[in-house]
Amino acid sequence: MSIRILHCLPVVLIIGASLTGEVRGQEIERGFFPPQQVGAGGGPYLAVVQLSMPEFDRRLTGMGLEGLPEWATLYGAGGHFQIGSLMIGGFSLGGTVDRSGVAGGAMREARVDISHGGLTVGYVKAVSNLKLALGGSIGVGTLAARLSRSPQTGPLWDGIWTYYGTGFTGTVDAGNLDISTELSGSYFFFEPFVSIRYWLIPMVAVDLGAFYRIGGIGSGKLEVNGEKIPDSPKLDLSGMGIKVGVFLGF
């Protein structure tokens, strides 16, 4: 529930920004640049984050698949309010890495979903048509991996129904049955960041930022179908990241 609430924060902030923008519309019209003491808005973001989980890579290569990429792309949105030099907001980001291949006569797939969201607090300094920000984010993230194997190199319409038909008289080899496993875990993170905003036109700007995520899933904290895995390894999700986005507001 807490993760869902965090993921909804950017939407609430963006709506609040639009309402605040209407109230302060006359003040914004005084010049090209937005007021330095009060601001609000939000928009879509894209982030490229460092991804290093050797234990996962080792298991994937053991399945005959390619390991995780060194950098993963996440998509999401963020927004904030600014009062004086204080900025308070929220954001959420998520992305997926897919790996698949044929090994041992079977199709093997791995899908890794990464998402996190949280609160952001920062110090803002306006210089001409630029806004510089320095601060940190804190929140909750999730990691979910779905592993699957099927005896075919691809789904076939007839094959889906074969074992369920009333006229089926053959035997089922348990070793060839489709199997799937879902692993999941949650983690807390902290991200110090620095960002710069460049105004293109009134109410529209481009954001560029860099951050370092600190967080991970502890030993024995992973779950399979809701059940703890006592000997699951520690997964370090710390790493650098670069974020770029479009900011709509003032």
93-125 b/e with 16+ CB inside 10 Å = b?
Answer: bbbebebeeeeeebbbbbebebbbbbebebebe
Q: Which stretch of 96-110, 113-127, 210-224 has the lowest confidence by average pLDDT?
A: 96-110
148 within a domain of the structure (yes/no): yes
pLDDT at 175: 61
Closest listed residue to residue 51, CA positions, set 245, 236, 208: 236
Q: Residue 218 domain-assigned?
A: yes
Q: How far is CA 117 from CA 10, 19, 71, 128, 226, in A?
A: 9, 23, 19, 31, 22
Domain containing 71 — which CATH number?
2.40.160.20
pLDDT score, position 39: 84
Is 45 a member of any domain?
yes
The confidence score (pLDDT) of residue 2 equals 42
Residue (of 144, 127, 137, 146) closest to 45 by Cα position: 137
**Residue 100 and residue 103: Cα distance in Å, rounded?**
10
pLDDT exceeds cutoff 50 at 91: yes
Q: Give the mean pLDDT of 188-207.
A: 95
pLDDT in tens, 17-53: 443 444 344 344 434 455 557 889 999 999 999 999 9
Residue 198 lies inside a defined structural domain of this protein: yes
- pLDDT on residue 26: 36
> What is the average per-residue pLDDT within 161-166?
73
Residue numbers of the domain that contains 29? 2-163+176-249
Residue 186 lies in a domain: yes
How far apart CA 198 and CA 45 sit, in angstroms, is 15
| Residue-averaged pLDDT of the chain | 83
How many domains does one find in the chain?
1
Q: Say if 170 falls within a structural domain.
A: no
Residue 171 domain flag? no
Query: Does 116 have pLDDT greater than 50?
Result: yes
65 has pLDDT over 80: yes
Per the model's pLDDT, the better-predicted residue between 169 and 131 turns out to be: 131
Say what percent of the chain tops pLDDT 70: 78
**pLDDT at residue 70, as a whole number:** 94
- Report yes or no on 55 lying in a domain: yes
Interatomic CA distance for residues 225 and 169, integer angstroms: 33
* pLDDT greater than 50 at residue 163: yes
At 221 the pLDDT is 93
The tokens describing 8, both together, are 């909804």
| Average pLDDT of span 110-135 | 93
69 pLDDT band, cuts 50/70/90, is: very high
